[in-house]
Structure 1
Amino acid sequence: MRPMTAESTASHPVSSRVSRVEPGTVTAERAALEEWLDYHRATLETKCAGLDEAQLRTVSVPPSDLNLLGLVRHMAEVERGWFRKVLAGEDVTWIFATAEDYDRDIHVTEEDTWEEAYTAWQGEIARARTLAADRGLDDIGVGEHRSGDTFNLRWIYLHMIEEYARHNGHADLIRERIDGATGD
């Protein structure tokens, strides 16, 4: 199995080179949370780099329909849900999910594109950074969560790191299945 390198990711239609910065080892809490979240965001992008549209739609192992394009779409929804809906209380609808198919983010079709997914995901990341910038880690989100619970920014950061880490494990296996590329 070949490791993922800059050479193996150079043909990606949107991001030919992903900048992934290792988090600091002696860092204040807020900076550490933001650095780890950004690291995991970049890791998912790295797992998608160098693949064409068909490869990005390749499912993991039947009966699962999990795929890299769907994971990126899913993370756009997760960013949107936690930062825009829960933290800021914005009244926004889902990007990909529908009433008929709540998991539409994962259920991709031939019409769904990397450009659309990547643009939505990066837009949600940018909005998340803006919404979190002026809030403290102990600040409670003002929006509703389906559980009825309240969440502070610290919890949201930790959950987002966990969510990305879990899905990056999925992405690692899907990528290895596609072309044998492995890496952290």
Structure 2
Amino acid sequence: MLRDFLDYHRATLAMKCEGLAEEGLRRQSMPPSTLSLLGLVRHMAEVERVWFRRTIAGEELPLVWSDRGDFQEAYDARGADRAEAFAAWRAEAEHSRRIEREAMSLDVTGVNPRSGEEVSLRLVMLHLIHEYARHNGHADLLRQGVDGAVGA
């Protein structure tokens, strides 16, 4: 069930971006916020990487978009490339799926590199569902601001 809900939210973010050219994906359509759909895609690549690869798998990796470890850099998509952003996001989601499939159980634990807290794969999956759901709400508003599209 967790896998299905997480994949549903991944698919929802992709759907919110469908049919837009790069300019629309980069558009900061809800001033004064500087958030854009492409910024959300980049952010979710970071989230997938940190929670699955770094936390659960224990991989020593930098962030995707920041050598300094600054999560905020992913949100700045003004000069971002659509293909690069979506490729990174899809690759990180595939790594996440692999890690989850190969885990012995949802009770497998890892250490959150930011807090030092031990967390289970179950908690990570719940956190990602929450993170996607929250940002998909943002994506709804951003997409409506770009071209008026609403729904799903």
TM-score, with structure 2 as normaliser: 0.94
Q: 1:180 to 1:95 in 2, by over 3 A?
A: same
Q: 1:154 to 1:102 in 2, by over 3 A?
A: closer
**Relative contact order, CA 8 A, sep 6+: which one is greater?**
2
The alpha-carbon deviation at position 134 of structure 1 amounts to 2.0
1:152 alignment partner, one of 120, 137, 144: 120
| SS state at 1:176 partner | helix
Alpha carbon RMSD of aligned pairs, Å? 1.3
Name the structure where helix makes up a greater proportion of residues: 2
Which has the higher Rg, Structure 1 or Structure 2?
1
Equivalence map 1:28-177=2 (5 Å): 32-99=1-68, 102-110=71-79, 112-135=80-103, 136-141=105-110, 143-177=111-145
In structure 2, runs of 5+ residues without a counterpart are: none
Identity %: 49
What is the CA–CA distance in structure 1 between the aligned matches of 2:30 and 2:148, rounded to whole Å? 15
The alpha-carbon deviation at position 103 of structure 1 amounts to 1.0
153-162 or 95-104: bigger deviation? 95-104
| SS state at 1:104 partner | helix
The alpha-carbon deviation at position 69 of structure 1 amounts to 0.3
| SS state at 2:54 partner | helix
Corresponding residue for 1:180? Answer: 148
What is the CA–CA distance in structure 2 between the aligned matches of 1:78 and 1:71, rounded to whole Å? 10
In structure 1, runs of 5+ residues without a counterpart are: 1-31
What is the CA–CA distance in structure 1 between the aligned matches of 2:33 and 2:69, rounded to whole Å? 19
What is the CA–CA distance in structure 2 between the aligned matches of 1:97 and 1:106, rounded to whole Å? 11
The alpha-carbon deviation at position 109 of structure 1 amounts to 2.5
Please tell me whether the aligned partners of residues 82 and 156 of structure 1 are also in contact (alpha carbons under 8 angstroms).
yes
